[in-house]
Amino acid sequence: MNKYTLGRQIAVAARVWRGELDKRLFPHSLSQARYALLTLLAEAQGPLPQNDLAERAGISGPTLVRQLDQLEHAGLVRRRDSPDDRRVKHICITAAGREAYGTARSIAEDLRKEVTSPVPDEDLVQLQKTLAVLIQQLDLIRLSDNAK
């Protein structure tokens, strides 16, 4: 039996994963957090309002602003005023951002392969299904708590 509870196992795995990914992304002036934002922007159907991006990333506005400042300074994203409301900023990924996203995605995929190499494919499929159920359940709990 593992000495960690399920919650602790998930937390430790996530922390160690982020740390290792950060280490591998560092030479490319990226981090796991910036890669996550580039992923959301690369997969979006056009620019995203800044508030929507923060919500999708699960981070606060001030945290997002710091990350966007760094990404914009590197030329990986661009902020634009909304045509409907100048108080709203739309964020879009640049061509350089798409290239950085591709590099980061490849690095993350290599890490995934390395980490999961000793695990049989059918176990990985089941793990992903189980985690999806847990995430869905946590979302339901969070939503019901917000409704109270």
Q: List average pLDDT for each run of 10 residues in the chain, which is 148 residues long.
A: 82 96 97 96 93 92 92 96 83 96 98 97 96 93 81
**Would you state the pLDDT for residue 24?**
98
Both tokens of 138, joined, read 């946590």
Looking from the CA of 123 toward its CB, the CA atoms found within 13 Å total 5
In sequence order, which residues have a C-beta less than 8 Å from that of residue 24 and are 6 or more positions away?
A: 107, 110, 111
**Would you state the pLDDT for residue 1?**
56
Both tokens of 94, joined, read 């640049």
In sequence order, which residues have a C-beta less than 8 Å from that of residue 35 and are 6 or more positions away?
A: 21, 25, 101, 104, 105, 108
Interatomic CA distance for residues 143 and 148, integer angstroms: 9
**Would you state the pLDDT for residue 83?**
80
